[in-house]
Structure 1
Amino acid sequence: WVFKQLYDKGLVYRGVKVMPFSTACNTPLSNFESHQNYKDVQDPSVVVTFPLDEDASVSLVAWTTTPWTLPSNLALCVNPELQYVKLRGKYTATEKIYILMESRLIALYKSDSEYEILDRQVHKLLFPGIALKGKKYKPLFEYFIQCKDKGAFAVVVDSYVKEEEGTGVVHQAPYFGADDYRVCMDFNIIQKDSVPVCPVDASGCFTAEVTDFAGQYVKDADKNIIKLLKEKGRLVHSSSFKHSYPFCWRSDTPLIYKAVPSWFVRVEHMVEKLLENNAQCYWVPDFVREKRFGNWLKDARDWAISRNRYWGTPIPLWVSDDFEEVVCIGSIAELEELSGVKVTDLHRESIDHLTIPSRCGKGLLHRVPEVFDCWFESGSMPYAQVHYPFENKKELEDAFPADFIAEGIDQTRGWFYTLLVLSTALFGRPPFKNVIVNGLVLASDGQKMSKRKKNYPDPMSIVNSYGADALRLYLINSPVVRAENLRFKEEGVRDILKDVFLPWYNAYRFLVQNVQILQHKDEGREFLYNENTVKESNNIMDKWILSFTQSLIQFFKAEMAAYRLYTVVPRLVKFVDILTNWYVRMNRRRLKGENGTEDCIMALETLFSVLFSMCRLMAPYTPFITELMYQNLKTLIDPASVQEKNTESIHYLMLPQVREDLIDRKIESAVSCLQSVIELGRVIRDRKTIPVKYPLKEVVVIHQDPEALENIRSLEKYILEELNVRQVTLSTNKDKYGVQLRAEPDHMVLGKRLKGAFKLVMAAIKELKSEQLEEFQETGTIVVEGHELHGEDLRLMYTFDQIAGGSVQFEAHSDAQVLVLLDVTPDQSMVDEGVAREVINRVQKLRKKRNLVPTDEITVYYRSHPEGDYLDTVIKEHMDFIFATIKAALKPYPVPTSKEVLIQETTQLKGSELEITLVRGGLCQCVGPACAYVNLKVCVNGTEQDGVLLLENPKGDNTLNFTGLVDAVSCIFGLKNSKLTVFNGKT
């Protein structure tokens, strides 16, 4: 039906055209098919002579990478406007004079000393190509010498001859090149009714007309042709040439270009309509519409839809022997009516024998032997799949054009193209509204994946090793979703498992473990999450992660509605890092209940809410791990809060709705500043190889925005903990510390824009003073050497001058907004604490190695050798600190024989041998709640009295500042009118 519509519109015709031809499949290919499989290959490169009839000592020299086309040469083409020259090679016979393009002398000679340009005035040796038009020359071979009487073997002109390659003289074999065919038609070297000079059969072998090479495959004949040309004295130069060449996408064999009779659909006349319809479609990424696909449409050519194969859908054309009478069939009923035969099968073997009586007295009409290009069937898919218009007419009209399709970037010359051509020709409309284009997945070396080469890992092995979700997320978080190619690497899938799934799963497991610990500690309390009854948390980190999650949901919905997977998935992956390495890390103690039960529940509810939202957002991309987590998480949801009808699977749930009331941009900005400070500080530690376990004295944070500093001040305790420093100093006075601004130019952006002035501007940028850059920081523009630069051109960096700052103990690092100075001066007490943290780290690693959980009661025994050394002293001095951290008793050897040893390990630390043993069960000692002592000195009527006050906070209530403490003590002890002096201490 589709083909009949095109035929009735006058869009189908039969013609001879130079087409990409597959000698392996014995069939022509369409233009877009030939562009699907290009490879870099080495082909023979030859330069041959064509002596002029008027003077055999003067020869035109032409270059080609297809020597097999030389037996079919009928003309030579030069550029009419470019300059040509006559010269004599110094190492050739004196009578040999060559003509070639002046700018292409390099094609024959490496230096000026190898040739001699004859006297320009006498011989007029420099001339435009048009001067050569019409000159006759001696053919290389005489297989088609009869064509000389019809104008062959003459020089023609056309501007398609360029000066970028070759000699500027292009040999013309009109039935083996599209440009050759066009040019030779323009100059009447050939006519439409000419007998084609095409001595190559469907298998790519020379026919009997080429007597010297008959039966030889053309590519194999290249060597023999070159040999014969050398014997004839017509070969000037022979070498090999690497270039990109089209291969058959089916057989993976080299294509040739060959004139063949084919059936065509007219496309060139509707290019403007194709571009108009393309503009109505929403493409992701959008550059495909304007660039890749749009450019292809602008140069669209008539579509050769016939193929010379047995297998395929028969073209429904019945023709007379002279092709003057053509009948196009549009339905089974029409074929039955015209042939008088019942039709039950439309394959070739069932209809090729059917004939239709001629209405013009031409006997019987027979079906043409060709079948459809399979892309014609693909492009007909919207109508063919519903048997339109014979059935489901309303269904198609309601559903057309399609809301959404997706395919690879190669389909811009395949399915996308044929869909658009047929839809435009039939209905004048685009066939789809929205389309996502993906890139191609290549082998790790950048080549196409090939079953023959086995240059890719077994997909099932990947899935079995890393899981389907890891493979899915690796692909969907790759350049492929931006219509770029991906070099597939197994380690990339492994990294997704390591960097995304394991941290994410550990956060989920951490939640579940601490819910169990909470319920174990507080028997009778059941943790059930109900978003309708959750109390609003006062903790700034809770507020931040909830706000960050809602911002993510908001972003997710907007970007998914715009089909931009390439922005959504990286943000989701980044969120896993934010959740695990920031929120969970900085709230571990709260989540473990160390700050009291109520605060623990608040933190657990926050983490549950975030993980539950995260699972629903990730479910479309990682369906299996999210289902696993959900099946456990849903047991912690209060049934009273469930609104969905079916909660059996996470894939039945709706995506979370955005809660605008939880979004707080100010808190998100504050935590972003905090993260910058911590990350910059970590870089300094890494640079100085100072582990975070070792405390440092001070970090100085310099920022020009006082509000940003206030945000950082509100989160100061997290900086103290994460950077393990004793003091945080905030300042806007960068001069005090010898801080200067420096500009870092974007070389790529400025290089393209400034071109020749680039080096001059770069030098001037280096000389810009801090005051100038501060002004640029405020205004966003600066003029350098007459060129106006903007924010995207320069990145401002802070630099630190130790001498100017007068503080050699600081190390500095900065980004575009904030500068961090870290005091790296060694301090023995801090080093000792760092060693104690190393001991803690060894114990915790043993716990993990033995698969112990936090609720497992253990006692830790240790032995340092030699006894009484530095390590032994540090452990004894920091016994309370170690005990408070590992939540287990720490005892020196020996280990009681009655104890069950869980794990034992000997390690080296600070030059000493440290042996650690974990045994089951804790010591029989009562561990009280967190407490501290305050010394009181009460002065009443001039009389002083000392006392000690024990402070406890067993439930994790809000802590008091000193002013509140003084007020509380005064109230409790009736000291309202007394003067209290408070000193804090350990005893």
Structure 2
Amino acid sequence: MTELSKTFDPAELEQRWYAHWETNGLFRPDRPGAEPWTIVNPPPNVTGSLHIGHALDNTLQDILARHARLQGKDALWVVGTDHAGIATQMVVERQMASAQQKRTDFTREEFVAKVWEWKEESGGEITQQLRRLGCSMDWANERFTMDEGFSKAVLKVFVDLHNEGLLYRDKRLVNWDPGLGTAISDLEVETREIKGSFWHLRYPLTDGSGFIEVATTRPETMLADMAVAVNAADERYTHLVGKQIKLPITGRLIPIVTDDHADPELGSGAVKITPGHDFNDFEVGKRAGIAANAMLNMLDAKAQVVQVSDGLIPAELLGLTTAEARKAVVARLKAEGFLIAHTDKDGVEHDAEPRTIQTPYGDRSGVVIEPWLTDQWYVDAATLAKPAIEAVRSGAIQIVPKTWEKTFFNWMENIQPWCVSRQLWWGHRIPAWFAEDGSIYVALTEAEAQAQAGEGVALRQDSDVLDTWFSSALWPFATMGWPEETSPTLHSRYPNDVLISGFDILFFWDARMMMQGIHFMGDVPFKKLYLHGLVRAADGAKMSKSKGNVVNPLGLIDQYGADALRFFMAAMESQGRDIKMDEKRVEGYRNFATKLWNACRFAQSNGIVASTHMEAPAAELAVNKWIIAETIGCVQAVDLALADLRFDGAANAVYQFVWSRFCDWYLELIKPVFDGDEKGSIDPESKRVAGWVIDQILVLLHPFMPFITEELWHAMGPRENDLIVAKWPMADARSLDPAASKEIDWLIRLVSEIRAARTEVNIAPGTRMQMHVRDADAETLARLERQATVIARLARASVVQDAPGGGALQVVVDGATFVLPLEGVIDLAVERERLTKGIAAAAKERDALAGRLGNASFVERAKPEAVEKARADYAEKSAEAERLTAALERLG
């Protein structure tokens, strides 16, 4: 047994134990014949560093992995990183720029080689940070989405989907990032509120009979307008449907069409349609019969104005940025009388109406994202989605919390084609080759493509790469060896048991894993999907670097230890609700770890050592029977909570048991009695029971706080195994003794009530008092006799037979009244006066707050946080008035 130091220092033991676990291969699945249990981590970007969201996500996964291992399962937690196409290419290009180099100074092959070089030297910092968090991942088999085996799987999926008609090339609108020169996913688009304008325009009818009014926040796009839409039910425009408009500036003739997209209640009810530069307009254009290859595209890859196919954009506008084109177009519209002035509330005319515009920006480039018409590769997501929808409906995949199912179904049932190509050099290059006649050949290798095309046909490989979400969608089975059908891991580990994910990637990753997994493996990728919330700032705001409210989890680990941060994450994770960051709570859980440390030091100093049995020791004393029952109850509570993925319920059950039942009460109840200067000793039975309970605590707490529990496990005595591979406790109800449990619960309530009553009337903690009982039944009297020594020690109250006279403190527990005389202990008159004044002061503040809260004006107009504080203060003052009133009544 190693003697514990006086102070708990997490930094040293965290580093030591993690190195021990990893070096000894304790994270690796190595239990032949045991039930396999598998989870895969959402692969973080190879460029990434640990943020607070990672800390939450990986803590929850580690809790489940460690719990499964303790249950005797052959637990595998697959770890790896994503090649992060855009992010990684940007990192390397910035590094090159510092050396006055550009990507285009090199061939594609040379640049990709530089990226691999960067990856080997600098990539994967986050994997070291995950170790600091305590993640028990199978590092010996770490995967990377660009490694050889994984790349083979990615290319096969592309080719197979294409051959099945589920992957195709099409011209559609995409989110185009002009700064990066590539299409990006919705997740990489950041919407910002920008002060903008709303322009009202007159579009003249070709027959000279008048104008139709439209409005827009992007007047420059009118250079590529192809229609004006009105609602078929809008009687104002019935006579105009089918007529043509002659666009200002370009002179293009465009039709007036009907479409439900036009809302008669909004603006003029007429909407300009630019199908090549607006996602809604693209769909309207298709419904109006405009083919995608006929839609006008007025911007190039850098979002500068280019000539459209009909050649009608004036030459002086070509080459302008969208901002420059906007000014020029508005100026011409105004000069030619097509701009409708806006009159403000003061009667002053302006060219436009001020508006706050929801504007899309690239989250990495920081430039405005343009809906851009371009040729890309698409997956028929609607077809792949059907089996995934059925899997959730049938229960083959259980989404937790269930409330997310409605959102899942709504999105999946209205899913759009999935754009999977990106205009980058770093990533899985698309296995497609183009011939000069426009033919496309998709194959695993160039040789296979050439064989399809025939000898002498010159081929050029597509320069695009695949979206990283495409490759990461294969994570649950490509990491297991697919497409090698003989892979033993694949057949024993697929489907995975559970997936932990933030709700924000439900559709980008989780749903796509469902689609690809079911299609290629014939089975769901995971049996349960747990969606957690976001970690927000203390005020509930979303964390962002621009707001300066980002919390660094590594800083919290440095200050409080990984165990404290992990326990905070678990205790606050309540089935998908967002977590408000609260550093004081993290500090509180560090104090919890210290309390457990000190409890084990107390045990060491009193001869309490590790137990040698899983089963509870035989016990005769009520206090020991009680703590055994409490321990079993805690095991049951944790088992039920983890089975339902109630992380907060499991964490809080352990916390309350350890802090309150074990440390605050059990250790106090069995503490050796001091007789003069001679120290007593804990009885042998209590030593055995206490050692067993500590063992149960350490195992129960290990998934949440792995470092301190492993340290204490070994400190309490010699062990056959490390705690990480110990056995999970069994909730054996045969050890329960209801009568003993009731007696100790009664004892705790009695001592607590006496202590609280003494405190309320300002009796010094060390003051010893006499106590008489009234109206006690035989059972209470028997308990008093058995527990007299403990009551005298913990409540500083000795039971006497004669009823005291004069003023007294009265406490009622289970119908019996316990009377403690106050003569000579306190000045009753002074104490009554103090309590009376306290009641009046608390009641006055309570009533004033009640008045404010009863004022509808205050509740409706005050800041929400001010109203919330007033409610909290009212509850506090109400409770204080009630407590002091009860204290006054107790004086008798």
The TM tier, using the shorter chain, reads 0.5 to 0.7
Separation (CA, whole Å) in 2 of partners of 1:64 and 1:383: 48
SS of residue paired to 1:28: strand
Q: Which of residues 243, 262, 265 is equivalent to 2:379?
A: 265
Give the 5 Å matches for 1:193-232.
193-194=293-294, 196-208=295-307, 209=313, 211=315, 213-218=317-322, 222=326, 225-226=329-330, 229-231=333-335, 232=337
Q: Which of residues 538, 551, 557 is equivalent to 2:633?
A: 551
Residue in structure 1 matched with residue 697 of structure 2 by the alignment:
614
Residue in structure 1 matched with residue 600 of structure 2 by the alignment:
508
Give the 5 Å matches for 1:647-796.
647=721, 649-664=722-737, 727-730=810-813
Separation (CA, whole Å) in 2 of partners of 1:130 and 1:678: 85
Report the alpha carbon displacement of residue 39 of structure 1 after superposing the two structures with TM: 3.6
Residue in structure 1 matched with residue 66 of structure 2 by the alignment:
none
Report the alpha carbon displacement of residue 626 of structure 1 after superposing the two structures with TM: 0.9
Separation (CA, whole Å) in 1 of partners of 2:748 and 2:297: 72
Give the 5 Å matches for 1:637-656.
646-647=720-721, 649-656=722-729
CA 1:368/1:70 → structure 2, altered by over 3 Å: closer, same or farther? same
For residues 99-132 of structure 1, the C-alpha deviation after alignment (integer angstroms, 9 at most, x for no partner) is xxxxxxxxxxxxxxxxxxxxxxxxxxxx466565
Separation (CA, whole Å) in 1 of partners of 2:436 and 2:633: 72
CA contact (8 A) 2:204 2:246 kept: yes
What letter corresponds to residue 336 of structure 1 in structure 2? A
Report the alpha carbon displacement of residue 376 of structure 1 after superposing the two structures with TM: 1.2
CA 1:200/1:176 → structure 2, altered by over 3 Å: closer, same or farther? same
CA contact (8 A) 1:6 1:425 kept: no
Q: Which of residues 187, 207, 224 is equivalent to 1:72?
A: 224
Residue in structure 2 matched with residue 296 of structure 1 by the alignment:
411
Residue in structure 2 matched with residue 462 of structure 1 by the alignment:
556
For residues 647-701 of structure 1, the C-alpha deviation after alignment (integer angstroms, 9 at most, x for no partner) is 3x22232122222222356766776687778878888888888887789999999
CA contact (8 A) 1:68 1:225 kept: yes
Q: Which of residues 232, 246, 251 is equivalent to 2:365?
A: 251
Give the 5 Å matches for 1:151-162.
152-159=254-261, 161=263
CA contact (8 A) 1:386 1:392 kept: no
2:288 aligned with 1:187, yes or no? Answer: yes
- Determine which structure has the larger strand proportion and give its number: 1
For residues 581-632 of structure 1, the C-alpha deviation after alignment (integer angstroms, 9 at most, x for no partner) is 6424752645779999676444343333222211111112212111221222
For residues 937-982 of structure 1, the C-alpha deviation after alignment (integer angstroms, 9 at most, x for no partner) is xxxxxxxxxxxxxxxxxxxxxxxxxxxxxxxxxxxxxxxxxxxxxx
Report the alpha carbon displacement of residue 453 of structure 1 after superposing the two structures with TM: 7.3
2:453 aligned with 1:358, yes or no? Answer: yes
Report the alpha carbon displacement of residue 184 of structure 1 after superposing the two structures with TM: 2.1
CA contact (8 A) 2:534 2:578 kept: yes
CA 1:239/1:652 → structure 2, altered by over 3 Å: closer, same or farther? same
For residues 365-385 of structure 1, the C-alpha deviation after alignment (integer angstroms, 9 at most, x for no partner) is 332232211111111334544
What letter corresponds to residue 317 of structure 1 in structure 2? A
Separation (CA, whole Å) in 2 of partners of 1:294 and 1:568: 30
CA contact (8 A) 2:753 2:811 kept: no
Residue in structure 2 matched with residue 915 of structure 1 by the alignment:
none
CA contact (8 A) 1:678 1:723 kept: no
CA contact (8 A) 1:273 1:428 kept: no
Report the alpha carbon displacement of residue 486 of structure 1 after superposing the two structures with TM: 3.2
Separation (CA, whole Å) in 2 of partners of 1:688 and 1:130: 85
CA 1:52/1:243 → structure 2, altered by over 3 Å: closer, same or farther? closer
Separation (CA, whole Å) in 1 of partners of 2:584 and 2:496: 38
CA 1:291/1:673 → structure 2, altered by over 3 Å: closer, same or farther? farther
Residue in structure 2 matched with residue 234 of structure 1 by the alignment:
339
SS of residue paired to 2:180: coil
Report the alpha carbon displacement of residue 217 of structure 1 after superposing the two structures with TM: 3.4
CA contact (8 A) 2:230 2:256 kept: no
Q: Which of residues 510, 531, 539 is equivalent to 1:437?
A: 531
Q: Which moved more, 1:553-562 or 1:48-57?
A: 48-57
TM-score by length of 1: 0.57
Report the alpha carbon displacement of residue 402 of structure 1 after superposing the two structures with TM: 2.3
2:708 aligned with 1:625, yes or no? Answer: yes
SS of residue paired to 1:76: strand
Separation (CA, whole Å) in 2 of partners of 1:631 and 1:491: 30
CA 1:599/1:507 → structure 2, altered by over 3 Å: closer, same or farther? closer
CA 1:677/1:256 → structure 2, altered by over 3 Å: closer, same or farther? farther
- Determine which structure has the larger helix proportion and give its number: 2
Residue in structure 1 matched with residue 861 of structure 2 by the alignment:
none
Residue in structure 2 matched with residue 497 of structure 1 by the alignment:
590
Separation (CA, whole Å) in 1 of partners of 2:644 and 2:674: 41
Separation (CA, whole Å) in 2 of partners of 1:336 and 1:412: 38
Q: CA RMSD in A?
A: 4.6
Separation (CA, whole Å) in 1 of partners of 2:333 and 2:779: 80
Q: Which of residues 426, 429, 434 is equivalent to 1:311?
A: 426
Separation (CA, whole Å) in 1 of partners of 2:207 and 2:753: 80
For residues 413-434 of structure 1, the C-alpha deviation after alignment (integer angstroms, 9 at most, x for no partner) is 2221221222233344322223
What letter corresponds to residue 515 of structure 1 in structure 2? G
Separation (CA, whole Å) in 1 of partners of 2:359 and 2:169: 28
CA contact (8 A) 2:202 2:340 kept: no
Give the 5 Å matches for 1:44-55.
44-53=196-205
Residue in structure 1 matched with residue 36 of structure 2 by the alignment:
none
CA contact (8 A) 2:203 2:211 kept: yes
For residues 825-847 of structure 1, the C-alpha deviation after alignment (integer angstroms, 9 at most, x for no partner) is 669xxxxxxxxxxxxxxxxxxxx
SS of residue paired to 2:606: helix
Residue in structure 2 matched with residue 3 of structure 1 by the alignment:
158
What letter corresponds to residue 305 of structure 1 in structure 2? V
Separation (CA, whole Å) in 2 of partners of 1:528 and 1:733: 41
Report the alpha carbon displacement of residue 248 of structure 1 after superposing the two structures with TM: 3.1
2:389 aligned with 1:275, yes or no? Answer: yes
CA 1:656/1:130 → structure 2, altered by over 3 Å: closer, same or farther? farther
Residue in structure 1 matched with residue 274 of structure 2 by the alignment:
173
For residues 356-404 of structure 1, the C-alpha deviation after alignment (integer angstroms, 9 at most, x for no partner) is 6734x99433322322111111113345445533564554244322233
Report the alpha carbon displacement of residue 54 of structure 1 after superposing the two structures with TM: 7.8
Residue in structure 2 matched with residue 12 of structure 1 by the alignment:
167
Q: Which of residues 653, 661, 665 is equivalent to 1:583?
A: 665
CA contact (8 A) 2:809 2:891 kept: no
Residue in structure 1 matched with residue 822 of structure 2 by the alignment:
none
Give the 5 Å matches for 1:360-375.
363-375=457-469
CA contact (8 A) 2:401 2:575 kept: no
Residue in structure 1 matched with residue 241 of structure 2 by the alignment:
133
What letter corresponds to residue 428 of structure 2 in structure 1? T
SS of residue paired to 1:293: helix
What letter corresponds to residue 651 of structure 1 in structure 2? I
SS of residue paired to 2:624: helix
Separation (CA, whole Å) in 2 of partners of 1:696 and 1:63: 85
Report the alpha carbon displacement of residue 550 of structure 1 after superposing the two structures with TM: 0.8
CA 1:600/1:240 → structure 2, altered by over 3 Å: closer, same or farther? farther
Separation (CA, whole Å) in 2 of partners of 1:694 and 1:187: 91
Q: How many residues align?
A: 648
Separation (CA, whole Å) in 1 of partners of 2:433 and 2:408: 35
For residues 867-918 of structure 1, the C-alpha deviation after alignment (integer angstroms, 9 at most, x for no partner) is xxxxxxxxxxxxxxxxxxxxxxxxxxxxxxxxxxxxxxxxxxxxxxxxxxxx
Q: Which has the higher contact order (CA 8 A, sep 6+)?
A: 2
What letter corresponds to residue 605 of structure 1 in structure 2? R
Separation (CA, whole Å) in 2 of partners of 1:591 and 1:131: 100
What letter corresponds to residue 4 of structure 1 in structure 2? V
SS of residue paired to 1:477: helix
Q: Which moved more, 1:257-266 or 1:379-388?
A: 379-388
Separation (CA, whole Å) in 2 of partners of 1:591 and 1:228: 96
TM-score by length of 2: 0.63
What letter corresponds to residue 626 of structure 1 in structure 2? T
For residues 66-92 of structure 1, the C-alpha deviation after alignment (integer angstroms, 9 at most, x for no partner) is 4443333333333444x6xxxxxxxxx
Report the alpha carbon displacement of residue 451 of structure 1 after superposing the two structures with TM: 6.5
Report the alpha carbon displacement of residue 633 of structure 1 after superposing the two structures with TM: 0.8
Larger radius of gyration: 1
Give the 5 Å matches for 1:63-142.
63-81=215-233, 127=235, 133-139=241-247, 141-142=248-249
